[in-house]
């Protein structure tokens, strides 16, 4: 028997969960379909960075919209998501890197964005006392911070369900088809039908888009992270480097998360990744050099989440260029977590109102396919 | 002295030098395969033959004849060409058979054509009220001290639990002049009836006569309370007393040391982190790897032998080690297999060694109240999470052990779930009305044992890095 709903959201990452919740808030009855469980992949196991800093310009408006939601996340979800806001700092390790930072901040200012702020060596050491003396400065985005990714994604799923969303976990969405103004999706023995279909399937979204005639240049990647034992508190903001692949965050319990985008080998069909310890050793060496206090810390665990990375490193976000009622929300290319809350709100506006005040024009799938709709 | 592996590639890498690992490495090396045996301890033997080459205990009957069987295994390993490295902690194994090992504070990477995991067993968690108090320890930890240093308890000592190892430990403590005030036997009365149909196999197994005489020996010297249905340790920052209920009567006794034991379960962490499929064993109440008759796992090239393949005891472990090694030889150097014992003979030996196992598993199947705690009893020691905390998280949507991490950080501490994993699975299964198989287990991650950041930072750079430097 086919169940009619207002929208079908495929993918229970933070994006699918956020869009489902915002559709509920707009008075719709959506169904959320997740083949594993909400937050099983990248959304639940990423570094948890809530970052406007160092973003591609086309996604900055969406990031700023999202930041406003993050700052009131507890009001939205009845869960603080362990969100904290001590800023994010981009460290320049030498004068050349600092010059790049200076040019970047000037460029943003010219475009009217003021969230990134150039800092000198003194302010850098005030914010990050443990950083090596040789670093001449950097950039700070003071409202940025971090949250617990699994807790956050789970909280979006839970709140959406409380507001009336139907959630199906552990069963894949199959046989996606369009007929007489409705999208149909099989979910195990059930079939759902709705005028709206949102493709938020993360690493699996490229296949869905391609099957619907909108192939895009996307690959599956698995960025690695590792976490240390508890060390005495020494740093508040999230730190990222300008020149090398490193992100660095100490949690309130003392553990330190080390990331930065070194990649594991994904085995997408098995939900597995194989870590590359020689690359993780590069991250370890960088931390060893920059933060002497970390040298005796112990590595407790390393892992990688499976996600989609676009060739141009910016997401596919907005209506399909071929099909009525189809919306894409994927390809966040290692930086989608912070965007989740805002992207869900904007996606709900696109679906319900047919438009949004938030500037997202450069993110559409039509950058790969001239509109044929 | 730090000894790094001599080569980067081996035909066979065996992990763990207990009964299974010793037998596997010797068999593989005898057949001419390049063989590396990596073991975490300072000498060969694993748990059951711990300190076999170095124990200060010289009077053979004190540790029992079964212990000294280990010496022969060590002898045949030494006669072979296997490369053996002790104090070597394997901290990563993946499905490409890439192995990361820490030796003397430095890490090395080796690759194998075949990996035989012989990582043995761990003691089952025994989460009773007060089990985290200083003064409460596992019987296995006590036995480690006894074998490697001849240390035995001299304060007021209570041993609680069940299973063959509990009686063996009690006998060993008494023979070495240690003190035991009382033994609290938690074997469920109903288990005796349930085990009865399997008794014939057990009567004809080598364990029967030995087990019986050991129990008699202990019972002659120590007060044994059977049918214990409740157990709690208490004290203010240190164990002071043990209270228990037997036959409906509660009693509290003063104690300085409480040794807990309710059997052993496969040590699955390394195998699971490599992606080996495991299934819930409803009789042994633990996760066991899915293996074929030669010990091959779901990951091509990884075989598992010994108690890590499912609890079978030391005799079975030795044979399983030989079977897994023979299978590796058949795959990598078929002609060399001819000089090894035929597979059919080994399988017959295994069947014999496993006789009586179902009886033991049924008799010593731990009671639910000692596996699935309630209220304020700690489940996860690393993060101090109680049974009630777990149930509260289930109530607001945590569906399995991996989801629970987001709510409570269970299993994310240094032990990587070794002390809470089974408890969490069974507790959540009971709360959600599902089977443990449906609830699942933690996804385990390397490093399976922690390594320091400095050690990781010091690993040799990859060839690509070195080339970049040379070019640059």
Q: Does A306 touch chain B (CB under 8 A)?
A: no
Contact criterion met (CB < 8 Å) for A281 and B414: no
Q: Which residues pair with B355 in a beta bridge?
A: none
For chain B, what percentages of helix, strand and coil (3-state, to nearest 5) are there?
Answer: 40, 20, 40
CA B179, chain centre distance (Å) = 26
Minimal C-alpha gap between B423 and chain A (Å): 21
Q: How far apart are CA B411 and CA B408, in angstroms?
A: 9
Contacts of A274 in chain B (CB under 8 A): 94-96
Helix, strand, or coil (residue B343): helix
Q: Is the pLDDT of residue B469 over 70?
A: no
Residue-wise pLDDT for B121-131, tens only, equals 999 999 999 99
More confident: B209 or A313: A313
> How high is the pLDDT of residue B471?
41
Task: Read off the pLDDT band of B468 (50, 70, 90).
Answer: very low
Collapsing DSSP to helix, strand or coil, A257 comes out as strand
**Nearest-angstrom CA–CA distance, A217 and B285:** 48
Reported as a pLDDT band with limits 50, 70 and 90, residue B136 is very high
B-contacting residues of A 26-45, CB under 8 Å?
37, 39-40, 44
Q: Is the peptide bond before B447 cis (omega within 30 degrees of 0)?
A: yes
CA distance linking residue B89 with residue B415, whole number of Å? 15
Q: pLDDT of A243-294, one tens digit each?
A: 888 999 999 889 999 998 899 999 999 999 999 999 999 999 999 988 888 9
pLDDT of B42 strictly over 90: no
Residue B182 region by backbone torsions, left for phi larger than 0, else alpha for psi between -120 and 50, else beta: beta
Q: Which residues of B touch A (CB under 8 A)?
A: 92, 94-96, 100, 109, 275, 396-397, 399-400, 402-403, 405-407, 412-414, 416, 445-447, 450-454, 456-457, 459, 461-462, 465
User: How far from B407 is each of A36, A44, A167, B131, B393, CA to CA, in Å?
Assistant: 18, 12, 20, 23, 7
Question: What is the 8-class DSSP label of residue B308?
Answer: G
Q: How far is CA B73 from CA A239, B45, B295, in A?
A: 54, 9, 20
Check pLDDT > 70 for residue A372: no
- Per the CB < 8 A criterion, the answer to whether B445 and A301 are in contact is yes
* For helices B421-432 and B387-395, angle between their N-to-C axes, nearest 10 degrees: 40
Alpha carbon B463 to its chain centroid, in Å, reads: 37
Asked if A37 and B94 come within 8 Å (Cβ–Cβ), the reply is no
Q: Indicate whether B184 pLDDT > 70.
A: yes
Q: What is the DSSP secondary structure assignment for residue B365, as one 8-state letter?
A: P
What is the pLDDT, as a whole number, of residue B33? 97
What's residue B2's pLDDT? Answer: 58
User: Across all residues in chain B, what is the average pLDDT?
Assistant: 92
> How much is the pLDDT for B54?
79
Give CA–CA dist A304/A308, Å, rounded: 13
Chain B residue numbers with beta carbons less than 8 Å from the beta carbon of A287 are 453, 457
Burial class (CB in 10 A: 0-12, 13-18, 19+), A362: middle
**Chain A interface test: which of B92, B109, B406, B465 (most A C-beta within 10 Å):** B406
Q: What pLDDT, on a 0 to 100 scale, did the predictor assign at position B472? A: 36
Check whether B31 has a pLDDT greater than 90.
Answer: yes
Q: Tell me: pLDDT of B463 over 80.
A: no
Which string of b and e fits A176-212 if b means at least 16 CB within 10 Å? beeeeebbbbbbeeeebbbbbbbbbbbbbbbbbbeeb
pTM of the model: 0.92
- Helix axis angle for B206-219 and B164-175, nearest 10°, is 50
The 10 Å Cβ neighbour count of residue A77 is: 24
pLDDT at position B408: 87
Q: pLDDT: is B54 or B219 the higher one?
A: B219
User: CB A335: neighbour CB atoms within 10 A?
Assistant: 23
Asked if A252 is an interface residue toward chain B (Cβ–Cβ < 8 A), one would say no
Query: B399, B94, B134: which is closest to B274 by C-alpha?
Result: B94
Chain B residue numbers with beta carbons less than 8 Å from the beta carbon of A169 are 399
Q: How far apart are CA B306 and CA B312, in angstroms?
A: 7
Judged by CB atoms closer than 8 Å, whether chains meet at A150 and B405 is answered as yes
Query: Residue A364 CB: number of other CB atoms within 10 A?
Result: 18
**Which chain B positions have a beta carbon within 8 Å of A285's beta carbon?**
457
The residue-averaged pLDDT of B82-98 equals 96
Considering only the beta carbons, identify the residue of B412, B416, B457 that sits closest to A288.
Answer: B457
> Which residues, in sequence order, are CB contacts of B109 under 8 Å at separation 6+?
A277, A278, B8, B98, B99, B100, B101, B459
Rounded to the nearest 10°, the torsion over CA B294, B299, B302, B308 is: -80
CA gyration radius, chain A: 21
Stretch A150-167: mean pLDDT, rounded? 96
User: Is the pLDDT assigned to residue B222 strictly greater than 90?
Assistant: yes
Q: Yes or no: say if A274 and A265 are a contact pair by the CB < 8 Å rule.
A: yes
Angle made by CA atoms A283, A287, A292, in degrees to the nearest 5: 155
Average pLDDT over residues B428-433: 96
pLDDT in tens, B375-421: 999 999 988 999 999 999 999 888 999 999 888 888 888 888 889 99
Segments of B47-105 assigned E as strands: 83-85, 88-93, 98-103
Q: Give the per-residue pLDDT at A247.
A: 92
* Nearest CB to A280 within list B403, B454, B456: B456
Token pair for B389? 């905390």
Tens-place pLDDT, residues B149-180 = 888 888 999 999 999 889 999 999 999 999 99
Cα within 13 Å of Cα(A271), Cβ side? 9
Where is average pLDDT lowest: A341-355, B35-49, B124-138, B247-261? B35-49
Tell me what pLDDT residue B1 has.
46
Q: pLDDT grade, residue B465 (50/70/90)?
A: low
Distance from CA of A201 to the nearest CA of B (A): 19
Question: Residue B447: its chain A contacts at CB < 8 A?
Answer: 299-302
Across B296-319, b (16+ Cβ under 10 Å) vs e yields bbbbebbbbbbbbbbbbbbbbbbb
B334's CB contacts (< 8 A; 6+ apart) are none
Spatial neighbors of B28 by CB under 8 A, at least 6 apart, are: B11, B12, B14, B35, B82, B116, B325, B328, B329
| pLDDT given at position B69 | 79
Q: Give dist(CA B70, CA B54) in Å, integer.
A: 12
In the predicted model, is pLDDT for residue A41 greater than 70?
yes
**C-alpha span between B29 and A241 (Å, rounded):** 49
Helices and strands counted in chain A (H then E): 10, 23
Mean pLDDT of A131-138: 92
Most confident of A128-132, A217-221, A248-252, B60-64: A217-221
Question: What residues of A are in contact with residue B397 (Cβ under 8 Å)?
Answer: 154, 157-158
Give the mean pLDDT of A152-160: 96
DSSP readout, A236-256?
Answer: -SEEEESSSS-EEEE-TTS-E
Assess whether pLDDT exceeds 60 at residue B107.
yes
- What's the whole-number mean pLDDT along residues B180-186? 97
CB distance from A272 to chain B under 8 Å? yes
Chain B residue numbers touching A282 (CB-CB < 8 A) = 465
CB-CB neighbors (< 8 A) of B459 in chain A: 277-278, 281
pLDDT digit string, tens, across residues B12-23: 999 999 999 999
Residue B148 reports pLDDT greater than 90: no
Distance, C-alpha B15 to centroid of its chain: 13
> HSE on the CB side for B363, CA within 13 Å?
16
Closest to A341 (Cα-Cα) out of A19, A10, A3, A2? A19
How far apart CA B156 and CA A164 sit, in angstroms, is 60
- pLDDT tens for residues A67-89? 999 999 999 999 999 999 999 99
């Amino acid at each position: 028997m086919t169940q009619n709903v207002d929208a079908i959201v495929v993918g229970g990452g933070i994006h699918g969960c956020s869009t489902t919740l915002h559709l509920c808030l707009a008075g719709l009855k959506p169904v959320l379909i997740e083949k594993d469980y909400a937050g099983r992949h990248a959304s639940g196991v990423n570094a948890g960075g809530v970052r406007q800093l160092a973003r591609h310009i086309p996604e900055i408006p969406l990031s700023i919209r999202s930041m406003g939601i993050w700052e009131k996340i507890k009001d939205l979800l009845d869960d603080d998501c362990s969100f904290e806001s001590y800023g994010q700092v981009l460290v320049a390790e030498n004068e050349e890197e600092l010059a790049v930072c200076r040019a970047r901040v000037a460029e943003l200012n010219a475009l009217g964005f003021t969230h990134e702020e150039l800092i000198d060596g003194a302010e850098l050491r005030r914010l990050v006392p443990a950083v090596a003396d040789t670093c001449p400065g950097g950039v700070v985005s003071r409202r940025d911070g971090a949250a617990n990714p699994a807790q956050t994604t789970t909280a979006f799923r839970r709140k959406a369900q409380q507001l009336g969303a139907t959630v199906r976990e552990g069963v894949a969405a199959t046989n996606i088809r369009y007929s007489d103004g409705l999208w149909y999706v099989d979910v195990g023995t059930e079939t759902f039908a709705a005028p709206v279909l949102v493709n938020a399937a993360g690493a699996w979204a490229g296949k869905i888009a391609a099957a619907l005639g909108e192939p895009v240049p996307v690959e599956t990647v698995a960025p690695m992270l590792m976490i240390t034992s508890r060390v005495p508190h020494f740093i508040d903001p999230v730190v990222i480097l300008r020149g090398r692949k490193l992100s660095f965050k100490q949690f309130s319990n003392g553990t330190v998360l080390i990331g930065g985008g070194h990649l594991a080998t994904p085995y997408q069909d098995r939900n597995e990744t194989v870590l590359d310890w020689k690359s993780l050793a590069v991250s370890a060496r960088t931390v060893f050099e920059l933060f002497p206090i970390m040298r005796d810390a112990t590595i407790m665990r390393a892992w990688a989440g499976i996600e989609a990375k676009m060739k141009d490193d910016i997401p596919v976000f907005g209506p399909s260029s071929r099909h009525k009622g189809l919306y894409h929300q994927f390809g966040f290319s290692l930086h989608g977590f912070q965007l989740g809350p805002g992207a869900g709100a904007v996606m709900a506006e696109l679906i319900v109102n047919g438009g949004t005040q938030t500037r997202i024009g450069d993110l559409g799938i039509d950058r790969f396919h001239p509109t044929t709709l | 002295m730090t000894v790094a592996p001599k080569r980067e590639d081996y035909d066979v890498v065996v992990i763990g030098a207990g009964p299974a690992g010793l037998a596997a490495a010797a068999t593989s090396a005898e057949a001419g395969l390049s063989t590396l045996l990596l073991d975490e301890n300072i000498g060969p033997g694993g748990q059951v033959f711990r300190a076999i080459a170095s124990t200060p205990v010289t009077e053979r009957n004190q540790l029992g004849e079964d212990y000294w069987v280990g010496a022969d295994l060590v002898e045949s390993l030494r006669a072979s060409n296997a490369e053996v490295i002790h104090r070597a902690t394997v901290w990563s194994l993946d499905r490409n058979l890439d192995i990361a090992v820490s030796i003397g504070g430095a890490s090395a990477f080796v690759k194998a054509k075949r990996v035989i995991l012989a990582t043995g067993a761990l003691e089952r968690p025994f989460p009773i009220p007060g089990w985290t108090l200083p003064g409460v320890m596992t019987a296995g930890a006590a036995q480690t001290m006894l074998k490697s240093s001849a240390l035995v308890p001299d304060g007021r000592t209570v041993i609680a639990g069940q299973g063959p190892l509990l009686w063996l430990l009690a006998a060993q403590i008494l023979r070495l002049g240690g003190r035991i005030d009382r033994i609290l036997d938690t074997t469920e009365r109903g288990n005796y009836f349930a085990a009865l149909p399997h008794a014939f196999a057990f009567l004809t197994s080598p364990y029967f006569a030995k087990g019986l005489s050991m129990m008699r020996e202990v019972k002659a010297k120590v007060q044994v309370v059977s049918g214990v249905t409740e157990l709690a340790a208490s004290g203010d920052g240190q164990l002071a007393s043990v209270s228990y209920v037997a036959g409906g009567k509660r009693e509290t006794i003063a104690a300085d040391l409480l040794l807990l034991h309710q059997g052993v379960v496969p040590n699955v962490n390394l195998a699971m982190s490599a992606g080996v499929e495991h299934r819930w064993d409803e009789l042994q109440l633990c996760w066991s790897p899915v293996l074929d008759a030669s010990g091959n796992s779901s990951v091509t090239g990884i075989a598992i032998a010994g108690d890590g393949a499912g609890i079978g005891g030391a005799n079975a472990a030795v044979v399983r080690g030989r079977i897994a090694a023979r299978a590796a030889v058949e795959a990598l150097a078929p002609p060399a297999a001819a000089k090894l014992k035929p597979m059919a003979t080994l399988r017959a030996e295994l069947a014999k060694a496993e006789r009586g196992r179902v009886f033991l598993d049924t008799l010593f199947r731990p009671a639910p109240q000692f596996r699935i705690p309630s209220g304020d009893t700690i489940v996860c020691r690393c993060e101090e999470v109680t049974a009630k905390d777990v149930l509260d998280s289930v109530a607001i949507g945590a569906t399995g052990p991996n989801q629970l991490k987001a709510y409570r950080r269970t299993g994310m501490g240094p032990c990587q779930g070794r002390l809470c994993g089974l408890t969490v699975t069974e507790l959540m299964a009971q709360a959600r009305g599902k089977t443990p198989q449906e609830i699942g287990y933690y996804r385990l991650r390397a490093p399976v044992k922690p390594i320091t950041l400095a050690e990781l930072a010091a690993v040799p750079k990859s060839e690509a890095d070195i080339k970049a430097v040379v070019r640059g």
